[in-house]
Amino acid sequence: MANKVFELITEEAKRQSEGLEMIPSENYVSENVLKALGSILTNKYSEGFPGRRYYGGNEVIDKIENYAADLAKKLFKVPVVLVQSYSGSPANFALTMAVCKPGETVMGLSLSSGGHLTHGANLSFSSIFYNAVNYNVGTDWKIDFDELERLAKKHKPKLIWAGTTAYPFKLDYKRYADIADRVGATLVADISHVAGLIVGGVHSSPVDYVDIITTTTHKTLRGPRGAMIMVTEKGLKKDAEIKSKIEKAIIPGLQGGPHNNQTASIAVALEEASSDKFKQYAAQVVKNAQILAAELGSVSETHLILLPLVSYGYGMGYQAQYALEVAGITVNKNTIPAEPVSPFYPSGIRLGTPALTSRGMKEKEMIQIAKWIKQALEEIRGYDIPAEKEKRLEFLKEYKEKIHSNNNLLSIQKEIKEFTKRYPVPGI
Q: Does position 199 have pLDDT exceeding 90, yes or no?
A: yes
Q: What is the structure's pLDDT at 319?
A: 98
Q: Does position 377 have pLDDT exceeding 90, yes or no?
A: yes
User: Is 17 a member of any domain?
Assistant: no
User: Is 411 a member of any domain?
Assistant: yes
Check whether residue 258 and residue 297 sit in a common domain.
no
Q: What is the structure's pLDDT at 201?
A: 97
User: Is 256 a member of any domain?
Assistant: yes
The dihedrals phi and psi of 79, each to the nearest 5 degrees, come to -85, -20
Check whether residue 227 and residue 352 sit in a common domain.
no
* Tally of domains within the chain: 2
60: domain range? 31-273
Check whether residue 48 and residue 181 sit in a common domain.
yes
Task: Tell which of 244, 273, 302 closes a domain.
Answer: 273
Check whether residue 246 and residue 302 sit in a common domain.
no
User: Is 177 a member of any domain?
Assistant: yes
Determine contact, residues 11/290, Cβ cutoff 8 Å: no
Task: Tell which of 227, 242, 273 closes a domain.
Answer: 273
Write the DSSP symbol of residue 264. H
Q: Which residues pair with 349 in a beta bridge?
A: 307, 333
Sign of CA dihedral 419, 421, 424, 427: positive
Averaged confidence pLDDT in the chain: 97
Q: What is the structure's pLDDT at 2?
A: 66
Check whether residue 168 and residue 38 sit in a common domain.
yes
Check whether residue 162 and residue 227 sit in a common domain.
yes
Check whether residue 322 and residue 239 sit in a common domain.
no
Q: Does position 153 have pLDDT exceeding 80, yes or no?
A: yes
User: Is 74 a member of any domain?
Assistant: yes
- Residue 35: which CATH number? 3.40.640.10
Q: What is the mean pLDDT of residues 12-16?
A: 97
- Residue 400: which CATH number? 3.90.1150.10
Q: What is the structure's pLDDT at 1?
A: 57
Task: Tell me the catalytic residues.
Answer: 45, 47, 190, 216, 219, 225
Q: What is the structure's pLDDT at 250?
A: 98
User: Is 132 a member of any domain?
Assistant: yes
404: three-class secondary structure by DSSP: helix
Query: Model-level pTM?
Result: 0.96
Q: Does position 57 have pLDDT exceeding 80, yes or no?
A: yes
Q: Does position 324 have pLDDT exceeding 60, yes or no?
A: yes
Task: Give residue-wise pLDDT tens across range 75-126.
Answer: 999 999 999 999 999 999 999 999 999 999 999 999 999 999 999 999 899 9
Check whether residue 268 and residue 309 sit in a common domain.
no
Give the pLDDT band of residue 275 (cuts 50, 70, 90): very high
- Residues 6 or more apart from 234 whose CB is under 8 A from it? 208, 209, 210, 211
Give the DSSP H or E segment for 163: strand 159-163
Check whether residue 149 and residue 289 sit in a common domain.
no
Please return the burial class of 383, using the count of CB atoms within 10 Å of its CB with bins 0-12, 13-18 and 19+: buried
Check whether residue 266 and residue 307 sit in a common domain.
no
CA pair distance 18, 329, nearest whole angstrom: 10
Determine contact, residues 367/293, Cβ cutoff 8 Å: no
Please return the burial class of 156, using the count of CB atoms within 10 Å of its CB with bins 0-12, 13-18 and 19+: middle
How many CB atoms are located within 10 Å of the residue 86 CB? 18
Q: What is the mean pLDDT of residues 228-256?
A: 97
Q: Does position 287 have pLDDT exceeding 80, yes or no?
A: yes
User: Is 15 a member of any domain?
Assistant: no
User: Is 8 a member of any domain?
Assistant: no
Q: What is the structure's pLDDT at 335?
A: 96
Check whether residue 75 and residue 217 sit in a common domain.
yes
Check whether residue 158 and residue 281 sit in a common domain.
no
Task: Tell which of 212, 247, 273 closes a domain.
Answer: 273
